[in-house]
A and B are shown apart, each in its own frame.
Chain A
Amino acid sequence: MVCPRCGNSNPDIAQFCGKCGGALVAQTPPPIPGPPVPGVSSEMRIIMIIATVVLPLIGIVMGIVYMNSADPGKKAAGRIWLLVGVGVAIVYCILSGLLSSIAQSS
């Protein structure tokens, strides 16, 4: 093993350099980058959230489709869209009485 400080050659089992006394660190290969995660682009996420707030059914349907994807990124995005879609639908249901009252008064 070569000392990173002075360049002296040392036995492989040595923990310290026999010349300068510096600590010897085992050489580890740099991590190999994995394949890029396809996931969902940030533009797609923003567009989907806006579309879901306007029309909850869009988020619900897209959420179900993406939740059944094999890609973990798409699966997670699908969970969020489905949650937002159902949440907005429930809020619309709760507010429907208020909307009706406004329509009646106008």
Chain B
Amino acid sequence: MTWLERVFALTCDQLPDRSPHLAGVVFPLCFRLAGLYLGVAAAYIVIIASRGWREPLSVRRGIALAVLLLPFLIDGWANTLHFWNTPGPLRAMTGLTAGIALPMLLMSIDAPRTVRGEHPAHRVLWAGGVAFLLVAALLRPSSMAVFDGVAVVAAAGFVALLANLLWAARPAAWNRAVAHEGGRAP
């Protein structure tokens, strides 16, 4: 998995004491970012499986998703600024909750404006379950194949998140929103 190490070296410190490892092999991501991208991958799996990519968010559910970002932000900054030192598995869990929230927030941007649907809460629980299994497979890998497989899933989550962000910010969608905001378009 040397190629993954090189790809993630641009985005992660990859410190051995802050990263999962198996038999002397260090995972290409630190605990926190591994949890983040595994959460992202789990969220996309559940969104696609439940056909939930066209459902807008209500205020209550949207804010509940935003709250899931808080542990990542607070603990991440606290560790960076040396306020406290969080154990690796807990770091992975803070990344996991943020990873579940980001795709669900991004997907709601392209949801139809006329539909007033409720984003089902159980989708978050399903994504949490899938992500927890992936993180458990990372923390207690049964073999090197599982260890490498989890790295590939994390990389897929990373790529999917970037692709989703670029799609949501594509020029056509951005221009439409800006024109609409100015009251020039219907």
Contacts and interface: CB of A to CB of B under 8 A. Distances in A.
A103 B82 contact: yes
Contact of A39 (B57, B79, B109, B181): B181
Interface residues of B, number: 44
A71 B32 CA distance: 39
Residues of B contacting A: mostly:
helix
Contacts of A87: 165, 169
B76 A67 contact: no
Contacts, number: 111
Interface string B165-186: 1001100001001101111000
B59 A97 contact: no
A96 B75 CA distance: 12
Residue among A82, A87, A95, A101 facing the most chain B CB atoms (10 A cut-off): A82
Interface of B: 11-15, 30, 32-33, 36, 56-59, 62-63, 66, 69-70, 72-73, 76, 79-82, 98, 102, 105-106, 108-109, 113, 161-162, 165, 168-169, 174, 177-178, 180-183
Interface of A: 37, 39-40, 45, 56-57, 60-61, 64-65, 67-68, 72-73, 75-77, 79-80, 82-83, 86-87, 89-90, 93-101, 103-104
8 contacts: A57-B69, A67-B62, A68-B59, A73-B181, A80-B174, A80-B178, A82-B109, A97-B12
